[in-house]
Structure formats: C-alpha cells, structure tokens
C-alpha cells in the first residue's frame, strides 16, 4: 500500500545513503536488493534445485540419490502419467475453446452495446472469488441428488447427470466450471484490445453499408489477432495448471478420470512421497508450457521487446 | 507491445473516461432485431454469472436438514440464519446438529484472521519492495539493468508448481512449516508481475519531475519516497488491490506449507470443512454460508474499487 511513502526503507541496506546523481548505480543496488534476494531464494535457486531433484530418487527422509534420467525413462511407460497428460489436454482444449469464444462474444457486446462499468463489473465478479469457493459452489449446484441443475434437468423429464461422478462427464464439467470463473476476466482482456481499434474503421464500414456481422469478421477479428494470441498464452498456460477445482471436488476421481497433471504431481510428491519423480514430471510440465508460450508468441510475431 | 500505448498509465480511469463517452451510444442505428438480440445475450450472460451467487445465498439461508425436501425451491427452504450462526460459532453443538451441521467447530474467525494477516503482509511486502525495484529498473541508470530485468521477466514463465516443490523443502529445512512466514515469504520480496506493472508506470513519468528535486539536492531515496511514490499512488493502490485478491484466494501453497489448524487460511479451511463429511450428505447450508462469508471481504473490496479493478485488468493482461 502507500504505507511505503512515509516509512523509511527498512531493509534497504547501506547504499540508501543517498549518493548524489553520480552514484545512481550504488543506489540502484539498494533499491533492487530485496527483490533480488526474493528472486534468488524463491525463484532461481528452487528452479535449479527442482532440476536436480528430477534426477534423483527422494522420499523426503533419506538423502536424495542420484539416478540420472531414470525418472524420465519411467515416465515413458507410466500409464497414469500419460492419462494425466490426456486428461489435462482435454481439459485445456474444452476450457480454452469455450472460454475464448464466450470471452470474445462478451467483449464485443461490451464494446458495441454498452460500455457500462456496472456490466463489466458483473461479468468479472466470478474471477474475484477463490477457486475453492467456486468449486464448492458448483459441487453443490451440480450435485446428482439435490443440486439445482439436476433438479432442472429432471424437471424437463430427462435423466439426472452425475457431473462429477462419471468418467465421461467429469473433465468437461470441471472445464466448464472454470470457464464460468474466467470468462469475464478474459473478456476484459479482449475488451482492452478492442478499445485500441480506431472507431473510424467502423464508421467507414458503416458508410460502406457493412453489417455488424461483416464488420466483426473483416475489422474486429483481424485487428484483434495479436491481442487474442497474447490472451491465449496467458489462458492456456494458466489452464494447464488446473489444480484447486480438482482437489476440492473429485481428488482426481472417479478412478483417474480427472487426475490432471498438476494434481498428479501433488499426488506423487505428497501422498506417494516420490519427490524426485514428481520433480521430473513438473520439469516436463514446465517444458510444455515453455513450448506453448514460445510457439504462440512466435505466431503473433511479438518481436518488439519489453525492454526499454 | 503494440497495444500498449492506449492502455498505458495503469488504470487510466479518468483519461479513458473522457475519451470513451464521445463515441458512446452510437446513434442507435438500425435499432431493430440485432440490438435486441445483443442485449438479450448480454442479459443472459449476466444472469448466468449472477445466479450461482444467488444460489449460494439461498442455500446459506436454508435449514440444512430440510434442504433435500425441496431442492428446486427458488427461496430458502425453512428460512433461518442458523447456518451463519453455525459457521461463526454462535450456536451450540446441539443446535448445529439439529440443522444438519456436524457439530464440529469450524474456527471461522481464526481462519479469517489468518487470511487477513497473510494477505495483508504479502500485499504490503510485494508493493513496497516491488515499487523499489521498479524504480531502479525504470529511473536509475546502472550497468546490466536491462539484462537483470530480462531475467526477472523470465520468472513470469516458470510455472508455480515447479518452484513450489523445492520451496516446500526449503521451508521444511528452515523449520518454517506451519508458520505464517512459510506462507508469506515466497511472495513477500517480489513477484515479477508487481515489478513489471509498476515499472511500466514509472517509465511514463517525465524526467523533469525529478530534475527539480535533484537541483534541491535530493538523493535517490528522497526522490523515490517524496516525488515518485506519491505521484504513483494510483497504480500502487491498484496493484495492492489486485495482489490482495490473489493472496486471499491462494490455495495450493498454503495447503502445502501451512495446513495446520493454527495457521490455516480460509481457502484451506473451506477445503477441510468440505472433506469433513466424506460420506453422507455434507452440510450444504453451512458450507454455503462459509463460502459466502469467505468471499465477502473480496466482494466488499470490489464494491468499493470496482472501477479501478475493472480498468486495471485490461492493463494487466496487455503486457
């Protein structure tokens, strides 16, 4: 908060001795020292350590034992791992496709129909609520016996759907629950992109007698492409890491039907105490995310750097 | 990137507000069917968004034992504040059990306090140290600056699970498991996002502003605290709100390092509450009352700062 404006820099070490303009380098060290410390201890060092652990067998209690690439070899024939991959990819596909389509729809409506802050606030509301709350809420609403959604379905004369209880339903269900939570947020990201499209283009289109539909395909979508690609990087890498919803609702079940990759890592490390193997699986997840991000950024030709 | 400029100074509420209304209400062209359909769609989306919140409230105000008798009633079944009393520890065990509660204490107040403490500490540290680092990256000249910043940025790419496993071990080795420090420390000194977000804003402040202070003989520390930070109070608050929401909602990390009752935060507490009745019907009314109460602080924060939050989301995504 703004508390920082009045209190002295508590932890900033010695260089805070206000050197005049020439000593900026020294001052800079003081200014970034805390952040650099945090970076080194909680990002950099654990990254190296994680890589090392992935080459060991480690059960938390005895010392890690170096086993080379054994963990990676084991993964190749680990059916649970491949199943977790499959489930995660399914989840990501459903989540991303539905979420992106809905987000673009909402964003366009926000831009073309109303720009009311109130409407924008409503659609983003689910995003502010924690995954755990959202998971519990939908677990209740989708309950097979007394959930409101099934009450409505049976009210229509159809059979109740065991959303979380059946292999075929559980992944789409979890994916759609998270679509509900995230679509408004994603819509706002897209909306910000839409606001950068000059209104003049639409004026011109209108003069030419183009329909809203036509303008969407010929103006909005092409100009939105870079923003959309960027939003996709964020949402895809985010949804690969689905955990909370699974942990609260199904714990990976029924069977392994919703054991997504991150839940599997958690499972390996903390239930089966196979820490080295868990680290190896997380290295693979890391690699996948890096490739996804790289490919997507490449596609957008985002070659301008953020560096000043 | 290319989209940066228009959205630039974080949450440019006022700037955009003046720009937007000009083209607002685009002359009701062809008011016909298209517009009606568009509005209908929007209203439908808002209903889908809001209904679960209503259902949470409706269930929380129901009597737990009677809930199953009328699952689709749009109004609370057997209206009572019992569930809230149960969650807040205001009812006796017998009363709670009569309404479908487990009778076990939920320690809601403790978890709430833990969540408040942890989220506040994380936010304060992140914003304070993030601002300092952002200042060094944006406004001080030193060798290797861009390289170091690039390294910081790459940390944005590392999936949390990857660092969290070793970080868990680090906490264990330091003997910090089940302490507040374990929950707070990894986020306290920096998040790449905080540094990035503020740097972006600091870059936009004109040089001349600081030049005057330099002439008065102010050093960097003074310039930062007296000139730059006050000018950036808007973005600082925006960042604080965003990070507070995130810290409040965090589940995985506190679950790993601080699942013990004494330091348990609300998200973890809710998960435990849910799993307390693995067989048989969970206490849905109680659970919904608890989730509602757990979400309340963020909803209040949102009610106060909605414009700021809504505007800053656009900025936060367009990096």
* Residue spans per domain, chain B: 36-99, 108-275
Cα dihedral B259→B260→B265→B271 (10° resolution): 50
CB contact under 8 A, B124 and A3: yes
Between CA A150 and CA A161 the distance in angstroms is 7
Average pLDDT (B276-305) is: 83
Confidence of residue B156 (pLDDT cuts 50, 70, 90): confident
From chain A, the residues in CB contact with B267 under 8 A are: 130-133
Chain B nearest-CA residue for A237: B159
Q: Report the pLDDT value the prediction gives residue B283, as an integer from 0 to 100.
A: 82
Interface of B with A in 154-193 (CB under 8 A): 155, 157-170, 172, 185-186, 188-190
Q: Please say if the pLDDT value at position B12 is more than 70.
A: no
Residue with tokens 């680990």: A78
B28 touches A at CB < 8 Å: no
Chain B residues within 8 A of A120 when measuring between CB atoms: 310
Spatial separation of the C-alpha atoms in residues A116 and B48, rounded to whole Å: 18
- Which residues of chain B from 64 to 83 reach within 8 Å of chain A, CB to CB? 67-68, 71-72
Range among A88-102, A185-199, A234-248 with highest mean pLDDT value: A88-102
State in words which class domain B108-275 has.
Answer: mainly alpha
Q: Is the peptide bond before B31 cis (omega within 30 degrees of 0)?
A: no
Contacting residues of A for B189, CB less than 8 Å apart: 34-35, 37-39, 41-42
CATH 3.60.20.10 fits A69-300, yes or no: no
In the predicted model, is pLDDT for residue A113 greater than 80? Answer: yes
Say what angle helices A167-194 and A131-141 make with each other, to 10 degrees. 130
Q: Which of B12, B129, B201 to mutate to test the interface with A (most CBs of A within 10 A)?
A: B129
Q: A262: nearest CA in chain B?
A: B161
B31 touching A (Cβ < 8 Å): no
Q: Are A176 and A94 contacting, i.e. CB atoms less than 8 angstroms apart? A: yes
Task: Give the three-class secondary structure for A56.
Answer: strand
ipTM score above 0.90:
no
What is the mean pLDDT of the segment spanning A146-160?
89
Q: Is the pLDDT of residue B18 over 60?
A: no
pLDDT above 70 (res A75): yes
Which neighbouring-strand residues pair with A57?
A65
Neighboring chain B residues of A46 at a CB cutoff of 8 Å: 162-167, 170
Q: How far apart are CA A282 and CA A289, in angstroms?
A: 10
Cβ atoms within 10 Å of A68's Cβ, excluding its own: 9
Interface test with A, best of B10, B35, B134, B317 (most A CBs within 10 A): B317
Considering only residues B231 and A87, tell me which one the structure prediction assigns the higher pLDDT. Answer: A87
What is the pLDDT at residue B220? 86
For chain A, what are the domain ranges? 69-300
Contact partners, residue B165, CB within 8 Å, separation at least 6? A46, A50, A53, A265, A269, A275, A278, A279, A282
Tokens at B194, concatenated: 């905080």
Contacts of A193 in chain B (CB under 8 A): 3, 318
């Amino acid at each position: 908060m703004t508390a920082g404006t009045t209190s002295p820099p508590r932890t900033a070490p010695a260089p805070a001795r206000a050197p005049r303009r020439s000593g900026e380098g020294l001052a800079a060290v003081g200014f970034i020292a805390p952040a650099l410390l945090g970076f080194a201890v909680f990002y950099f060092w654990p990254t190296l350590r994680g890589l090392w652990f992935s080459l060991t067998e480690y059960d938390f209690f005895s010392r890690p034992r170096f086993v080379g690439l054994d963990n990676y070899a084991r993964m190749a024939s680990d059916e649970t791992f491949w199943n977790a991959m499959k489930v995660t990819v399914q989840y990501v596909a459903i989540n991303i496709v539905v979420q992106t389509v809905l987000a673009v729809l909402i964003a366009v409506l926000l831009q073309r129909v109303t720009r009311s802050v109130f409407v924008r606030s409503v659609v983003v509301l689910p995003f502010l609520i924690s995954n755990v709350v959202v998971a519990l809420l939908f677990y209740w609403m989708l309950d097979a016996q007394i959930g409101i959604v099934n009450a409505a379905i049976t009210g229509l004369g159809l059979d109740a759907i065991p959303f979380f209880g059946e292999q075929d339903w559980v992944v789409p269900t979890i994916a759609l629950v998270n679509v509900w939570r995230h679509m408004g947020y994603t819509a706002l990201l897209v909306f910000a992109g839409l606001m950068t499209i000059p209104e003049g283009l639409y004026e011109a289109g209108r003069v030419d007698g183009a329909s809203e539909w036509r303008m969407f395909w010929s103006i909005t979508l092409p100009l939105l492409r870079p923003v959309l690609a960027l939003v996709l990087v964020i949402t895809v890498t985010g949804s690969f890491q689905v955990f909370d919803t699974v942990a609260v609702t199904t714990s990976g079940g029924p069977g392994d039907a919703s054991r997504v990759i991150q839940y599997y890592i958690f499972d390996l490390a903390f239930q089966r105490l196979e820490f080295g193997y868990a680290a190896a699986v997380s290295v693979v997840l890391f690699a996948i995310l890096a490739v996804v991000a790289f490919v997507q950024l490449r596609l957008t030709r985002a070659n301008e750097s953020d560096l000043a | 990137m290319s989209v940066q400029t228009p959205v630039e100074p974080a949450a440019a509420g006022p700037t955009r507000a003046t720009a937007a209304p000009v083209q607002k209400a685009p002359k009701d062209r062809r008011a016909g069917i298209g517009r009606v359909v568009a509005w209908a769609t929007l209203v439908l989306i808002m209903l889908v968004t809001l209904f679960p919140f209503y259902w949470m409230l409706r269930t929380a105000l129901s009597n737990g034992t009677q809930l199953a008798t009328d699952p689709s009633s749009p109004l609370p079944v057997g209206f009572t504040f019992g569930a809230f009393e149960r969650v807040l520890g205001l009812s006796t065990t017998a009363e709670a059990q009569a309404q479908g509660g487990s009778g076990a204490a939920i320690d809601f107040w403790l978890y709430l306090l833990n969540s408040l403490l942890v989220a506040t500490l994380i936010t304060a540290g992140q914003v304070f140290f993030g601002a300092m680092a952002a200042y060094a990256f944006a406004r001080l000249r030193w060798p290797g600056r861009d390289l170091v910043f690039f390294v910081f940025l790459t940390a944005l790419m590392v999936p949390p699970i990857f660092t969290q496993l070793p970080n868990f071990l680090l906490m264990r080795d330091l003997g910090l498991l089940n302490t507040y420090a374990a929950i707070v420390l990894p986020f306290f000194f920096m998040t790449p996002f905080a540094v990035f977000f503020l740097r972006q804003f600091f870059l936009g402040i004109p040089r001349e502003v600081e030049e005057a202070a330099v002439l008065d003989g102010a050093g960097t520390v003074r310039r930062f605290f007296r000139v730059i930070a006050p000018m950036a109070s808007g973005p600082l608050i925006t960042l604080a709100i965003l990070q507070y929401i995130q810290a409040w909602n965090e589940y995985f990390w506190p679950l790993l390092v601080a699942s013990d009752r004494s330091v348990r935060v609300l998200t973890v507490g809710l998960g435990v509450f849910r799993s307390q009745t693995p067989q048989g019907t969970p206490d849905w009314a109680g659970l919904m009352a608890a989730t509602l109460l757990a979400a309340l602080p963020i909803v209040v924060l949102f009610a106060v700062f909605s414009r700021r939050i809504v505007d800053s989301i656009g900025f936060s995504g367009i990096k």
